[in-house]
Chains A and B, each alone.
Chain A
Amino acid sequence: MSKSIRPDGRKVDEMREAKIELGVIPNANGSAKFTMGKTVAIAAVYGPRELHPRRNQIADKGLLRCNYDLMSFSVSERKRPGPSRRDKELSLVIANALSSLVFLDKFPKQVIDVFVEIPQADAGTRCAGICAASLALADAGIPMRGLTGSVSAGALGETVVIDLDKEEEDWEAGATDMPVTYCPKTNLITSLQLDGEISKKNFFNALELAIGKAKELTDMQEKALKENYKGGSEE
Chain B
Amino acid sequence: MSEEKTIQERKVVIPGETLATGMEYLPGHGTHRVNEEIRASWLGLSEYNGSVIKVIPLKGAYIPREGDRVIGVIADVSYSSWDVNVFGPANAMLGIGDASRSYIELGEDLTRYYDIGDYIYAEVSKVSKSMFIKINMKDKMFRKLNTGLTVKISPVKVPRIIGKKGSMVNLLKEETGCTFIVGQNGIVWIKGETRQQELLALKAIKYVENNAHMSGLTDTMKEKIKEWKQNE
Report A's interface with B, CB cutoff 8 A. Answer: 29-30, 47-50, 59-60, 103, 107-110, 137-147, 183, 185-186, 221-222, 225-226, 229-235
Whether A141 and B16, one on each chain, are in contact in the complex, defined by CB atoms closer than 8 angstroms, is: no
Task: Mark B185-225 against chain A: 1 for CB-CB distance below 8 A, else 0.
Answer: 00000000000000000000000000001110000000000
Chain B residue at minimum C-beta to C-beta distance from A228: B12
Chain A residue at minimum C-beta to C-beta distance from B43: A138
Please report the C-alpha to C-alpha distance between residue A142 and residue B42 in the assembled complex, in whole angstroms. Answer: 6
Chain B residue at minimum C-beta to C-beta distance from A142: B42
How many A-B pairs fall under 8 Å by CB? 102
Q: Is B41 an interface residue (CB 8 A)?
A: yes
In the complex, identify which listed stretch (B58-66, B96-104, B111-119, B172-180) lies at the interface while the others stay far away.
B58-66
CB-contact partner of B43 in A108, A139, A186, under 8 A = A139
Whether A139 and B59, one on each chain, are in contact in the complex, defined by CB atoms closer than 8 angstroms, is: yes
CB-contact partner of B44 in A59, A103, A141, A145, under 8 A = A141
B-side interface mostly:
loop
- The 7 A-B pairs with the shortest beta carbon distances in the complex, nearest first, are A141-B60, A146-B16, A185-B16, A143-B41, A141-B59, A144-B15, A231-B213
Whether A47 and B43, one on each chain, are in contact in the complex, defined by CB atoms closer than 8 angstroms, is: no
Given known A48-B89, A109-B90, A232-B12, contact A141–B213 (CB-CB < 8 A): no
Q: Which residues of B contact A234 (CB under 8 A)?
A: 213-215
Report B's interface with A, CB cutoff 8 A. Answer: 10-12, 14-17, 30, 32, 39, 41-45, 57-61, 89-91, 129-131, 156, 213-215
Please report the C-alpha to C-alpha distance between residue A141 and residue B59 in the assembled complex, in whole angstroms. Answer: 5
Whether A226 and B14, one on each chain, are in contact in the complex, defined by CB atoms closer than 8 angstroms, is: yes
CB-contact partner of B14 in A48, A49, A59, A138, under 8 A = A138
Whether A233 and B45, one on each chain, are in contact in the complex, defined by CB atoms closer than 8 angstroms, is: yes
Chain B residue at minimum C-beta to C-beta distance from A134: B15
Whether A232 and B16, one on each chain, are in contact in the complex, defined by CB atoms closer than 8 angstroms, is: no
Whether B130 and A225, one on each chain, are in contact in the complex, defined by CB atoms closer than 8 angstroms, is: no
Whether B14 and A109, one on each chain, are in contact in the complex, defined by CB atoms closer than 8 angstroms, is: no
Whether A29 and B12, one on each chain, are in contact in the complex, defined by CB atoms closer than 8 angstroms, is: no
Please report the C-alpha to C-alpha distance between residue A225 and residue B12 in the assembled complex, in whole angstroms. Answer: 9
Whether A229 and B58, one on each chain, are in contact in the complex, defined by CB atoms closer than 8 angstroms, is: yes
Given known A141-B60, A147-B14, A233-B12, contact A225–B131 (CB-CB < 8 A): no
Q: A145-B32, A146-B39 are in contact. List 13 more A-B contacts (CB 8 A).
A: A49-B89, A110-B131, A138-B43, A139-B59, A140-B60, A141-B57, A142-B42, A144-B41, A186-B16, A232-B12, A232-B45, A233-B11, A234-B213
Whether A47 and B61, one on each chain, are in contact in the complex, defined by CB atoms closer than 8 angstroms, is: yes
Whether A108 and B14, one on each chain, are in contact in the complex, defined by CB atoms closer than 8 angstroms, is: no
Whether B129 and A141, one on each chain, are in contact in the complex, defined by CB atoms closer than 8 angstroms, is: no
